[in-house]
């Protein structure tokens, strides 16, 4: 038995439309129990009487529409209640999107639609833009959770084109997943929910099946051309899926974007090209700008005649995280990918759950495998260090283009493989005649490898691999 003193518990009474905000430091964990009333974390409803656990420097808020009482066990570095939240605006935005879904489904099923105007019966395809720390990911999560909680069987597609966020995989990826159950928030290591695994135990009941592409860098400016291509790949796959999945098509999609899309000069900057790539690839019809007047005006001017541009306020609760925090989150993501999610509960809490799942169901047991380098083909897209092409001297051309797959020799001292994360890609086309030069750029990720050195090279392959979306051709 542990001889640790039980952690201190506090009772918080929240008034209508207020929220309890907390921030955890490294190593801290927290348990929150809903004692009375109804409450939610970024749209995910808390079950009454259950201990909900949080860890890995989680920063979040328990919001209530009508008032509630919660019991908080543990000592977060920051905790306070605020009744100044933008949730009413977010709720209204959700209602507007919900009306679009209902009209879209009526149209798809051939039922009479109140509006004759065809464009009014498009499902919501929302692009969320905003500067750093404006709460874009949180807005995407709230809107997605409200859609799946509407009880209409919606499965909105949540798209992440921010490579600095791991979403369901690791940082450096772009991904999409159809969401059928509310996404919990317990740890930034899987802030958008948990992907299904190939582990032979029963795991998260709410496991997602994302489609993932490997961009390979957390920063968008490293290779905007490649990013553009991945965005278009995601769009093509989603459109294929929508052709067969009418309920999914009517549910629409919500796209989370990187902060670099919101700032920088308009000219000679890839951000406007990347925004355009998103609008084209995902057939965006609503642009949501979170708390940025200048960007709102810019989007109104550029796209106002084609799509609806809506500005919403930023929440005062959004935490401004720094570079070292992001690096730690990238490590948490990889660790969670390999080992599953393990949050040690505060002392005295024995029956904690994470997003409604029992803790033991989220633990993985990876094994290491020694693989000969001669059995692997490792590619790098472009060069290790590559300035954008518009930064090259006038008239200069590259020897290796941004999109070129360069075979890496693991034995060469400058291979750059030590401690690198590699993506394992799905198989190339079995028909040799169908293959093409840049095919590697269009293959989805099926797993990740971490390269490390002991006395010899080893390759660790997580027991947890991503599944691609099933296409029913």
Ligand X SMILES: Nc1ncnc2c1ncn2[C@@H]1O[C@H](COP(=O)(O)OP(=O)(O)OP(=O)(O)O)[C@@H](O)[C@H]1O
Was 294 annotated as part of a binding site?
Answer: no
Q: Which stretch binds ligand X (CB under 6 A): 47-55, 93-101, 135-143, 390-398?
A: 135-143
Residues 6+ apart with CB under 8 A from 5: 347, 348
The structure tokens listed for 162 are 């921010």
Was 136 annotated as part of a binding site?
Answer: yes
Was 133 annotated as part of a binding site?
Answer: yes
Please state, as a whole number, how many other Cβ atoms lie within 10 Å of the Cβ of residue 263: 14
The structure tokens listed for 452 are 């490390």
| C-alpha span between 188 and 373 (Å, rounded) | 34
424 binds ligand X (CB under 6 A): no
Which of positions 17-36 make contact with ligand X (CB under 6 A)?
A: 21
Name the residue with tokens 């919606």.
Answer: 154
Was 141 annotated as part of a binding site?
Answer: no
Q: Which stretch binds ligand X (CB under 6 A): 192-200, 247-255, 298-306, 313-321?
A: 313-321
Residue by residue, what is the 3-state secondary structure of 1-19?
A: CCCCCCCCEEEEEECCCEE
Give me the residues paired with residue 64 across strands.
Answer: 18
Q: How far is CA 255 from the centre of its chain?
A: 9
Please state, as a whole number, how many other Cβ atoms lie within 10 Å of the Cβ of residue 64: 23
**Three-class DSSP category at 240:** helix
Minimal distance in Å, beta carbon 188 to ligand X?
6
Was 138 annotated as part of a binding site?
Answer: yes
- Of 127 and 451, which has the nearer Cβ to ligand X? 127
The residue whose Cβ lies closest to ligand X is 317
Q: Which stretch binds ligand X (CB under 6 A): 54-62, 97-105, 176-184, 200-208?
A: 54-62
- Of 175 and 197, which has the nearer Cβ to ligand X? 175
Was 19 annotated as part of a binding site?
Answer: yes
- Of 105 and 142, which has the nearer Cβ to ligand X? 142
333 binds ligand X (CB under 6 A): no
Was 276 annotated as part of a binding site?
Answer: no
Helices 136-149 + 87-109 axis angle, to 10: 50
81 binds ligand X (CB under 6 A): no
DSSP 363: B
Using CB under 6 A as the binding criterion, the count of chain residues that bind ligand X stands at 20
59 binds ligand X (CB under 6 A): yes
- Of 21 and 33, which has the nearer Cβ to ligand X? 21
Write phi, then psi, for 63 (nearest 5 degrees): -110, 145
Minimal distance in Å, beta carbon 168 to ligand X?
15
Q: Render 331-389 in DSSP notation, one character per residue.
A: HHHHHHHHHB---PPPTT--SEEETTEEGGGGB----EE---GGG---EEES-SS---G
Q: Which stretch binds ligand X (CB under 6 A): 56-64, 297-305, 333-341, 402-410?
A: 56-64
Q: How far is CA 431 from the centre of its chain?
A: 34
The structure tokens listed for 205 are 């009941």
162 binds ligand X (CB under 6 A): yes
| C-alpha span between 248 and 156 (Å, rounded) | 6
| C-alpha span between 169 and 437 (Å, rounded) | 26
Window 175-194: contact mask with ligand X (x via CB under 6 A): -------------x------
137 binds ligand X (CB under 6 A): yes
Helix (H) / strand (E) element for 55: namely: none
Q: Which of 135, 193, 248, 252 binds ligand X (CB under 6 A)?
A: 135
| C-alpha span between 169 and 165 (Å, rounded) | 9
133 binds ligand X (CB under 6 A): yes
**Three-class DSSP category at 30:** strand
- Of 223 and 257, which has the nearer Cβ to ligand X? 257
Minimal distance in Å, beta carbon 319 to ligand X?
4
Q: Which of 39, 53, 60, 147 binds ligand X (CB under 6 A)?
A: 60
259 binds ligand X (CB under 6 A): yes
167 binds ligand X (CB under 6 A): no
Q: Which stretch binds ligand X (CB under 6 A): 59-67, 233-241, 368-376, 432-440?
A: 59-67
- Of 284 and 449, which has the nearer Cβ to ligand X? 284
- Of 125 and 136, which has the nearer Cβ to ligand X? 136
- Of 60 and 148, which has the nearer Cβ to ligand X? 60
Among the listed residues 222, 213, 141, 236, the one whose alpha carbon sits nearest the alpha carbon of residue 179: 141
**Three-class DSSP category at 463:** coil
Q: Which of 134, 155, 160, 336 binds ligand X (CB under 6 A)?
A: 134
Q: Which of 203, 211, 318, 459 binds ligand X (CB under 6 A)?
A: 318
| C-alpha span between 56 and 71 (Å, rounded) | 20
| C-alpha span between 28 and 386 (Å, rounded) | 39
The gap between the terminal CA atoms of the chain, to the nearest Å, is: 56
Among the listed residues 22, 15, 8, 31, the one whose alpha carbon sits nearest the alpha carbon of residue 69: 15
| Residue 402 exposure: Cα atoms within 13 Å on the Cβ side | 17
330 binds ligand X (CB under 6 A): no
Q: Which residues are annotated as a binding site for ATP?
A: 19, 59, 133-138
Q: Which residues are annotated as a binding site?
A: 19, 59, 133-138
Residues within the interface to ligand X (CB under 6 A): 21, 59-61, 130, 132-138, 162, 188, 259, 315, 317-319, 321
């Amino acid at each position: 038995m542990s001889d640790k003193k039980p952690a201190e518990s506090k009772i918080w009474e929240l008034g209508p439309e207020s929220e309890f905000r907390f921030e955890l430091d490294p190593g801290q964990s927290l348990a929150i129990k809903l004692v009375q009333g109804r409450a939610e974390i970024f749209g995910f409803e808390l079950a009454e009487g259950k201990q909900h656990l949080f860890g890995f420097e989680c920063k979040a808020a328990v919001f209530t529409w009508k008032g509630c009482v919660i019991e908080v066990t543990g000592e977060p570095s920051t905790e306070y209640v605020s009744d100044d939240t933008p949730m009413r605006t977010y709720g209204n935005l959700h209602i507007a999107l919900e009306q679009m879904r209902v009209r879209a489904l009526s149209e798809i099923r051939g039922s009479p639609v109140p509006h004759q105007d065809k464009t009014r019966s498009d499902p919501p395809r929302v692009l969320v833009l905003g500067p750093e720390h404006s709460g874009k990911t949180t807005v995407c999560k709230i809107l997605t959770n409200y859609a799946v909680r509407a009880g209409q069987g919606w499965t909105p597609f949540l798209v992440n084109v921010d490579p600095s966020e791991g979403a369901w995989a690791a940082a450096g990826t772009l991904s999409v997943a159809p969401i059928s159950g509310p996404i919990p928030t317990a740890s930034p290591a899987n802030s958008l929910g948990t992907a299904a695994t190939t582990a032979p135990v029963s795991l998260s009941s709410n496991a997602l099946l994302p489609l993932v592409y490997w961009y390979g860098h957390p920063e968008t400016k490293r290779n905007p051309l490649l990013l553009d291509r991945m965005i278009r790949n995601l769009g093509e796959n989603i459109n294929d899926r929508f052709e067969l999945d009418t309920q999914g098509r009517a549910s629409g999609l919500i796209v989370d974007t990187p902060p670099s899309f919101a700032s920088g000069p308009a000219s000679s900057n890839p951000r406007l090209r990347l925004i355009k790539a998103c609008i084209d690839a995902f057939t965006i019809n609503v642009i949501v700008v979170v708390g940025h007047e200048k960007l709102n005006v810019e989007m109104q001017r550029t796209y106002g005649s084609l799509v609806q541009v809506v500005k919403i306020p930023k929440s005062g609760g959004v935490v401004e995280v720094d570079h070292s925090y992001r690096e730690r989150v990238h490590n948490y993501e990889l660790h969670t990918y390999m080992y599953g999610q393990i949050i040690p509960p505060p002392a005295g809490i024995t029956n904690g759950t994470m997003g409604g799942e029992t803790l033991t169901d989220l633990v993985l047991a990876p094994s290491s495998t020694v693989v000969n380098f001669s059995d692997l083909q490792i590619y790098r897209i472009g060069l290790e260090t590559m300035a954008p092409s518009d930064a090259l001297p006038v008239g200069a051309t590259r020897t290796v283009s941004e999109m070129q797959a360069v075979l890496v020799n693991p034995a060469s001292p400058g291979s750059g493989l030590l401690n690198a994360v590699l993506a394992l890609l799905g198989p190339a086309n079995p028909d040799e005649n169908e293959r093409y030069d840049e095919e590697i750029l269009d293959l989805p990720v099926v797993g990740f490898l971490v390269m490390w050195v002991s006395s010899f090279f080893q390759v660790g392959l997580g027991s947890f691999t991503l599944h691609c979306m099933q296409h029913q051709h």
